[in-house]
């Protein structure tokens, strides 16, 4: 039985409205004289890049702007950004965008610092040392990438998502300004927000750290420790904030209070899951994402109630707590009944957000189910944190329930 857990986050978190106005001072405090800004056309079109360049201009800090990020960034775009950046003098990276942009910036930072081939870094703990200073400015409340150690990229040739996971990839500064999320469209707000819920719930129900089967040689390098008390607290507050404010953030995009709470939920859930780990929901979302090409958050939201239903017999007490945090009335109910209320409340939330709840509605065929179940069995790093043991047949049954 393990006796310790560990916790890592971004080097610093600066949180609050109009935080981006401090960007120039933050950049110079890090000793950066020529930062590169990484963003994408959507963020550019929303007028968010000017908000970031204005404080740099005010302090006469020159910057290079790379605006060709893409959703679910491919290894090709990483290479393109790296080649572009190599030709310029730069000493830090500012990522302005959603998780895709931040993940792209992390991968570019690795290559700019250590060179080589991006394929050399896939897996856990392959980054040899500190990377260039990286400031992450999220424009969505989802993915948790602004505090997480992961960069998820798409290998187009293999039609596979691949990840670089290393604590050295956690941004130097997460600069979270809720005003930067006001223009995030309703559908994207819903998808990223439900991903936040999945992160928090999965971190909370993950196998406890002391019972997570970790090999002796992994003890000093493991990133995902299983559930532990600090992550539990963060998950609890994130769940309550999503339950209280996600609907409002989707339907009233300009509601600063709702956006601020969702930004906070994102950071809290990001810190929880990127230390405790995620479970079968995120594991099953990998093949489902590859088959459907639906957004990451959408597939996690779609799977979440079904995976929880499977896990309910093993985590009745924890799911009963989730029900309370989501505002459900549980007086007089058994833990199992209360846990069921949590699952039903999440289904209701997904319906209220008008997100699809069946795989058949996002282009999945029945014949895809067995291969997806078998592919999920390969995602061992996430599956081992699932509180209830799973076989390929179990995964197939969960996918069928979600079909
Ligand atoms: Fe996620």
347 CA distance to ligand 1 middle (Å):
18
160 CA distance to ligand 1 middle (Å):
16
Q: What is the mean pLDDT of residues 12-34?
A: 97
281 CA distance to ligand 1 middle (Å):
9
Specify which residues 65 forms β-bridges with.
37
Tokens 């990286």, residue? 134
pLDDT, tens only, 38-61:
999 999 999 999 999 999 999 999
Helix (H, G, I), strand (E, B) or coil at 15: strand
**Cα three-residue angle 231-235-236, rounded to 5 degrees:** 120
296 CA distance to ligand 1 middle (Å):
6
365 CA distance to ligand 1 middle (Å):
23
228 CA distance to ligand 1 middle (Å):
19
Tokens 């003098």, residue? 89
Using CB atoms within 10 A of its CB, is residue 140 exposed (0-12), middle (13-18) or buried (19+)?
A: buried
Q: What is 12-181's CATH topology? A: Rossmann fold (3.40.50)
**CA gap 304, 346 in Å, rounded:** 8
pLDDT, tens only, 175-232:
999 999 999 999 999 999 999 999 999 999 999 999 998 888 888 889 999 999 999 9
143 CA distance to ligand 1 middle (Å):
5
| pTM for the predicted model, two decimal places | 0.97
269 CA distance to ligand 1 middle (Å):
10
282 CA distance to ligand 1 middle (Å):
7
266 CA distance to ligand 1 middle (Å):
10
99 CA distance to ligand 1 middle (Å):
9
Helix (H, G, I), strand (E, B) or coil at 138: strand
Average pLDDT, the chain: 96
Segment (H or E) for 134:
strand 134-138
Q: Are 172 and 13 in contact (CB under 8 A)?
A: no
CATH 1.20.1090.10 location in the chain: 186-402
**Nearest CA to 161 among 321, 286, 11?**
286
What is the structure's pLDDT at 374?
96
Q: Which two tokens stand for residue 387?
A: 């509180």
**CA quadruple 86, 140, 305, 353: dihedral sign:** negative
| CATH H-level superfamily of 186-402 | Dehydroquinate synthase-like - alpha domain (1.20.1090.10)
290 CA distance to ligand 1 middle (Å):
14
- 218's CB contacts (< 8 A; 6+ apart) are none
Tokens 């991903």, residue? 195
**CA gap 210, 107 in Å, rounded:** 32
56 CA distance to ligand 1 middle (Å):
31
Q: Looking at the predicted structure, is the pLDDT value of residue 295 above 90?
A: yes
Q: Are 285 and 160 in contact (CB under 8 A)?
A: no
Say how many residues make up the chain. 403
**CA gap 372, 143 in Å, rounded:** 23
Q: Are 119 and 154 in contact (CB under 8 A)?
A: no
What is the structure's pLDDT at 216?
86
196 CA distance to ligand 1 middle (Å):
7
pLDDT, tens only, 164-179:
999 999 999 999 999 9
Q: Which two tokens stand for residue 401?
A: 């329930």
pLDDT, tens only, 340-366:
999 999 999 999 999 999 999 999 999
Q: Looking at the predicted structure, is the pLDDT value of residue 288 above 80?
A: yes
Give the pLDDT band of residue 333 (cuts 50, 70, 90).
very high
**CA gap 363, 383 in Å, rounded:** 25
54 CA distance to ligand 1 middle (Å):
31
**CA gap 237, 218 in Å, rounded:** 30
195 CA distance to ligand 1 middle (Å):
5
**CA gap 48, 97 in Å, rounded:** 9
Q: Looking at the predicted structure, is the pLDDT value of residue 1 above 90?
A: no
297 CA distance to ligand 1 middle (Å):
6
Q: Are 227 and 205 in contact (CB under 8 A)?
A: yes
Segment (H or E) for 188:
helix 186-205
CATH 3.40.50.1970 location in the chain: 12-181
């Amino acid at each position: 039985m393990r006796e310790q857990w560990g916790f890592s986050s971004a080097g610093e978190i600066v949180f609050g409205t109009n935080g981006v106005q401090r960007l120039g001072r933050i950049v110079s405090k890090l000793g950066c004289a020529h930062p590169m800004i990484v963003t994408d056309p959507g963020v550019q079109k929303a007028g968010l890049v000017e908000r970031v360049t204005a404080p740099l201009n005010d302090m006469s800090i020159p910057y290079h702007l790379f605006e060709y990020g893409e959703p679910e960034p491919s290894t090709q775009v990483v290479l393109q950004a790296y080649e572009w950046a190599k030709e310029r003098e730069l000493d830090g990276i500012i990522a302005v965008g959603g998780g895709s942009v931040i993940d792209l910036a992390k991968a570019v930072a690795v290559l700019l610092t250590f060179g080589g081939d991006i394929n050399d870094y896939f897996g856990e703990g392959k980054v040899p040392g500190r990377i260039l200073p990286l400031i992450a400015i999220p424009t969505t409340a989802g993915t948790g990438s602004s505090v997480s150690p992961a960069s998820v990229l798409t290998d187009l040739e293999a039609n596979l998502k691949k990840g670089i996971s290393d604590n050295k990839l956690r941004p130097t500064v997460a600069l979270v300004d809720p005003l930067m999320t006001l223009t995030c469209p309703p559908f994207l707000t819903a998808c990223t927000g439900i991903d936040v819920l999945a992160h928090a719930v999965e971190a909370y129900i993950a196998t406890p750290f002391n019972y997570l089967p970790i090999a002796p040689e992994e003890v000093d390098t493991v990133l995902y420790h299983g559930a532990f008390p600090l992550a539990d607290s963060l998950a609890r507050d994130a769940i309550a904030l999503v339950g209280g404010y996600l609907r409002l953030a989707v339907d009233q995009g300009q509601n600063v209070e709702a956006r601020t709470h969702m930004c906070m939920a994102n950071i809290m859930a990001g810190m929880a899951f990127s230390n405790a780990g995620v479970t079968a929901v995120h594991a099953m979302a990998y093949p489902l994402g590859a088959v459907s090409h639906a957004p990451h958050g959408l597939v996690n939201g779609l799977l979440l109630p079904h995976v929880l239903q499977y896990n309910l017999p093993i985590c009745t007490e924890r799911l009963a707590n989730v029900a309370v945090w989501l505002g459900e009335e549980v007086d007089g109910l058994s833990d199992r009944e209360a846990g069921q209320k949590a699952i039903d409340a999440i289904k209701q939330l997904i319906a209220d957000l008008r997100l699809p709840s069946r795989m058949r509605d996002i282009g999945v065929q029945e014949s895809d189910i067995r291969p997806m179940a078998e592919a999920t069995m390969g995602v061992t790093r996430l599956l081992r944190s699932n509180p209830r043991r799973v076989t390929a047949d179990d995964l197939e049954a969960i996918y069928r329930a979600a079909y």
